[in-house]
């Protein structure tokens, strides 16, 4: 065996289809493009969303809704979660660092404390925003609220 008699495996290669080389080839005439129409012409390019002249779907369907560019997205944490965290780790102060360490939020997220559940521990809670009910619940048990 040497380089002069190497061949690809049987059936692994195919000969290229040479279209438009006369009637004797069997692929002359329309050159596998069918008869007439834009797709048979040279220079045809399929435009994205083109539906053959029919009104395309992106123009038939109405637009709806909008994205508020001023929206501030908060990660919501209930006071019941703060109560569980305080009991589990014996904390008196819960801030962003404690919530990140516990895995409730990531460093980049803003936090809003919501008033769902009950709170019995006296806590100093540090967050970016508070609902009125959460603020009232924290202060009712003698805790303090710190807005960042």
Just give the CATH number of 74-147. Answer: 3.100.10.10
Residue 1 has pLDDT above 80, yes or no: no
Residue 52: predicted pLDDT = 86
Name the band, by pLDDT with cuts 50, 70 and 90, for residue 35.
Answer: very high
111 three-class SS: strand
Name the band, by pLDDT with cuts 50, 70 and 90, for residue 63.
Answer: confident
CA dist 9 → 5, 13, 57, 125 (Å): 12, 8, 48, 73
Domain ranges of the chain: 74-147
Name the band, by pLDDT with cuts 50, 70 and 90, for residue 11.
Answer: very high
| 104-147 per-position pLDDT tens digit | 999 999 999 999 999 999 999 999 999 999 999 999 999 999 99
């Amino acid at each position: 065996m040497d380089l002069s008699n190497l061949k690809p495996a049987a059936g692994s290669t195919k000969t290229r289809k040479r279209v438009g080389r006369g009637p004797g080839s069997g692929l002359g005439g329309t050159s596998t493009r069918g008869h007439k129409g834009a797709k048979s012409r040279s220079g045809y390019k399929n435009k994205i969303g083109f539906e053959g002249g029919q009104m395309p779907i992106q123009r038939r369907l109405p637009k709806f809704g909008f994205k508020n560019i001023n929206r501030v997205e908060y990660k919501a944490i209930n006071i019941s979660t703060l109560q569980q965290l305080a009991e589990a780790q014996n904390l008196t102060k819960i801030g962003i660092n404690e919530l990140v360490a516990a895995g409730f939020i990531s460093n980049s997220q803003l936090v809003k404390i919501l008033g769902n559940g009950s709170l019995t521990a006296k806590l100093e809670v540090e967050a970016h925003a508070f609902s009125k009910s959460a603020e009232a619940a924290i202060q009712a048990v003698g805790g303090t609220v710190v807005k960042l």
